[in-house]
Amino acid sequence: MHKAQVSDSATPSIFTAQVAELVAIGAAIASNCEPCFKYHYDQARKLGVCDLDMRYAVDLAQKVKDTPARAMLNLAERYLGSATPDTKAVASSCCVTNP
């Protein structure tokens, strides 16, 4: 079994409190956790993280999250064919949220 080696003489860590909050914001997006996002947004603001950096974290997390979702849709389409106006109409009545 190999253990990860931590070197204190190599490249210094960039994992600051600010970076940790950006990671947490991305995780909140990936897990659809609204309270988590609000908490880590507030923490990041207190640490001086700018909105643009938080936006980068959100957009990257959403892209990572969407990739397997897209792959699953493609798989379903290979098995079932593409969605039709009728199937989309039925699906649009489910899980409606107001942005």
Instruction: Establish if 51 belongs to a structural domain.
Output: yes
pLDDT digits over 78-87, tens only?
999 998 998 8
Residue 71 lies in a domain: yes
Look at residue 67 and tell me whether its pLDDT is greater than 50.
yes
At residue 50, the pLDDT reads: 98
- 24 falls within a domain: yes
**Residues 11-25 pLDDT 10s:** 999 999 999 999 999
Q: 8 φ, ψ to 5°?
A: -85, -5
Give the mean model confidence (pLDDT) for residues 4-33. 88
Domain span at residue 46 reads 17-88
Among left, alpha and beta (phi > 0; psi -120 to 50; other), residue 95 is left
Specify the pTM. Answer: 0.74
* Tally of structural domains, the chain: 1
Asked if 26 and 57 count as a contact pair (C-beta separation under 8 A), the reply is yes
In a domain, 21, yes or no: yes
Confirm whether 48 is domain-assigned: yes
